[in-house]
């Protein structure tokens, strides 16, 4: 991976003004996706559970990016910003692991049609922890 400055130079990230309305919208999307993931799991739709769990994490992370004055143009750029937060001691590395795993599982479910109940369980549990942590990071910035 590259760093934040490298992502900005390559156009994968761009600087923006933090906007509380956009941050709240992203959190709302994350909450919505988490609820849809839980509903899909209850219906044993494990593929959709995995996909919505990933997007829960993605939108929660985007909220954090927006709060930092950044907007991603590629999904992997979100990981670059989380890596930077880890280096600065603001985030534990397990949360990057959760997002990275979810991204792989979503791609497997979406493009290779491989998914399972066990993966769905892991993904939705990780999504809940990830969402809570991103909300905690945002509260610390207030």
Residue positions counted in the chain: 142
Residue 15 has pLDDT above 80, yes or no: yes
User: How far, in whole angstroms, is CA 11 from its chain's centroid?
Assistant: 20
pLDDT tens digits, 97-127: 999 999 999 999 999 989 999 999 999 999 9
pLDDT tens digits, 63-73: 999 999 999 99
Cβ atoms of 29 and 77 closer than 8 Å: no
Tell me what the mean pLDDT of segment 68-91 comes to: 95
pLDDT value of position 1 = 52
Q: What is the biggest distance separating any 2 CA atoms in the chain, rounded to whole angstroms? A: 44
Whole-number Å distance between alpha carbons of 70 and 109: 29
Of the pLDDT bands very low, low, confident and very high (cuts 50, 70, 90), residue 141 is low
Whole-number Å distance between alpha carbons of 48 and 59: 16
pLDDT value of position 83 = 96
Could you give all domains of the chain from N- to C-terminal order, each with its CATH number?
Answer: 4-141 (1.20.120.330)
Give the pTM.
0.94
Cβ atoms of 59 and 30 closer than 8 Å: yes
């Amino acid at each position: 991976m590259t760093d934040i400055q490298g992502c900005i130079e390559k156009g994968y990230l761009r600087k923006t003004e933090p906007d509380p309305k956009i941050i709240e919208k992203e959190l709302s999307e994350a909450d919505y996706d988490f609820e849809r993931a839980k509903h899909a799991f209850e219906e044993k739709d494990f593929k959709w559970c995995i996909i919505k769990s990933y997007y829960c994490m993605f939108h929660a992370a985007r909220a954090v990016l927006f709060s930092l004055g950044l907007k991603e143009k590629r999904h992997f750029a979100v990981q670059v910003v989380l890596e930077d937060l880890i280096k600065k001691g603001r985030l534990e590395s397990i949360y990057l692991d959760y997002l990275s795993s979810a991204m792989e599982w979503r791609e497997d479910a979406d493009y290779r049609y491989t998914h399972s109940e066990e993966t769905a369980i892991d993904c939705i549990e990780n999504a809940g922890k990830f969402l809570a942590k991103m909300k905690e990071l945002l509260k610390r910035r207030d």
